[in-house]
Amino acid sequence: MRTKIGVVGLGYVGLTLTAALADKGFTVYGADVSPAVLASLSRGRPHIFEPGVEDVFAERIGRDIHVATELPKDTVDVAVISVSTPVDDVTRRPNLANLAAAARAVAASCRPGTLVVVRSTVPVGASRRIVLPELRAAWGDQVRLVMAPERTIQGQALRELVELPQVVGGLDDESLAAGVEFFGGLAQAIVPVSDLETAELVKLSNNCHTDLIYSFGNEIALIAERHGLDPLEVIRAANVDYPRPDLAKPGYVGGGCLSKDPYIMIDSAGERAPFLVGKARELNEYLPVHVAETVVRMLTEARGSSRGTRLAVLGWAYKGWPPTDDMRGTPIAAMMPVFSAAGVTVLGHDPMVTDEVIQQYGGEPVSLDKAFTDADAVLVINDHPDYRAIRIPEVLGTARPAFIYDSWRVLDADAVTAAGIRYAGLGYLPAAPAAAGSVAPATEVATA
């Protein structure tokens, strides 16, 4: 008999897990409160982009994958909770209402003793404090509960769900054994840990460490910028044949996890705030604002005023590689208020993001070729392969941008400067080439 799995919450984590489990031969029942999500999935059309997921749903929906507002009564052998655990925009405290509601729904729809897996990212102690009481209230002592954090990267989730070691922490030995057996049917390696709390802290540790190491690269970039140095040269030289951990290149740090999980880690620390986690997140959140302010200043220097200028922004999703359409933690969200206050019209392009989403964020959709011919300046925010493939001489017209701010340094810098266009990047602000003064502006600009 095929094992039946329930997945409560069909956001990114639940969606990819559902596809991976179905591909491994499980029968999966997905539950979500969003009618739009259920309608789309019922047609075999995932609402979130992730390579391979659409193929699985198109083939298996209605056969191995079933979706509804609730899990079927007394049917599943394992219930996975993968609902969102957002942090408040003002207080930065995690909101665990979805977690509690999911636990109640599982307790009401599943048999006592059903293995319950917490997959959501939660503060240390939340599985025991929030989920366990809901299950015990309905099932008494017949509770089997594990915490098994999701640790995949967008763009490679289906592969990593199988290849990455799966960490599992249990309420007790019986729960742990059941969790290890379940994930043994999906992942190639299992890492059992002592308890629920250890598994919770594993997830937070992974993501906060990533936020920390990226923040140090950004720190180097900001210091290099003040001294007129090239941060990539500094980092390359520091890393050459040096036996200690490599320094990370500067870059924006967003996404659904890295923009949220540090605050969950801080909440887990209690009254004594961590020394590093909050500062790293503060720096990474400052970087897009710093870049936006720098771009406005460069526009003012080039055109006499920023007001009335047109800035083409390439890359609106939070990252370009692996490609995604995810706007959670996108740098443009922090940049747009700066551009708006400076009177800059923002043109937007992204191979993965729809025109409607660009408009929702305040941009005017533009084609890639028009971005280089109809704007006073170009800002490249992510490193999508389409941007890496740009051949500068082929995209330029008669009226050329005053500068190109290439955040990830993916363009041909020599080709840019040879065309008389100033080239810049994160922490890298060389002077404009001498020929820049003879280049015609892309638009008329009224000085203020």
Sequence-ordered list of residues with C-beta below 8 angstroms from that of 405, at least 6 positions apart, any chain:
291, 294, 295, 298, 377, 378, 379, 380, 424, 425
User: What's 4-194's CATH class?
Assistant: alpha beta
Local structure of 439: helix, strand or coil = coil
- Residue 123 to residues 129, 133, 198, Cα–Cα distance (Å): 10, 16, 11
Hey, what amino acid is at 197?
E
Residue 445 has pLDDT above 50, yes or no: no
pLDDT of 431 > 80? The answer is yes
Q: Work out whether the CA dihedral 199, 200, 203, 205 comes out positive or negative.
A: negative
Structure confidence by residue, pLDDT tens digits, 16-57: 999 999 999 999 999 999 999 999 999 999 999 999 999 999
Residue range(s) occupied by CATH 3.40.50.720 in the chain: 4-194, 199-448
Q: How far apart are CA 84 and CA 256, in angstroms?
A: 10
pLDDT greater than 50 at residue 448 = no
Confidence of residue 1 (pLDDT cuts 50, 70, 90): low
Spatial neighbors of 69 by CB under 8 A, at least 6 apart, are: 31, 32, 33, 38
Other CB atoms within 10 A of residue 113 CB: 14
- pLDDT digits over 184-206, tens only? 999 999 999 999 999 999 999 99
pLDDT tens by residue, 260-291? 999 999 999 998 989 999 999 999 999 999 99
| pLDDT of 103 | 98
Beta strands in 127-236 (DSSP E): 144-147, 166-170, 190-193
Give the residue from 6, 179, 175 showing the smallest Cα distance to 76. Answer: 6
One-letter amino acid at 339 equals: F
Of 101, 119, 117, 109, the residue nearest 76 (C-alpha): 109
Number of residues written out for the chain: 448
Q: Which CATH class is domain 199-448?
A: alpha beta
- First-to-last C-alpha distance (Å) of the chain: 74
The mean per-residue pLDDT over the stretch 237-252 comes to: 94
Instruction: Reduce the DSSP state of residue 423 to 3 states and report it.
Output: strand
User: Is the predicted pLDDT of residue 436 greater than 90, yes or no?
Assistant: no
Q: Are 200 and 124 in contact (CB under 8 A)?
A: yes
Angstrom distances, CA of residue 446 to CA of 40, 125, 302, 311, 443: 48, 58, 13, 15, 10
What is the 8-class DSSP label of residue 2?
A: P
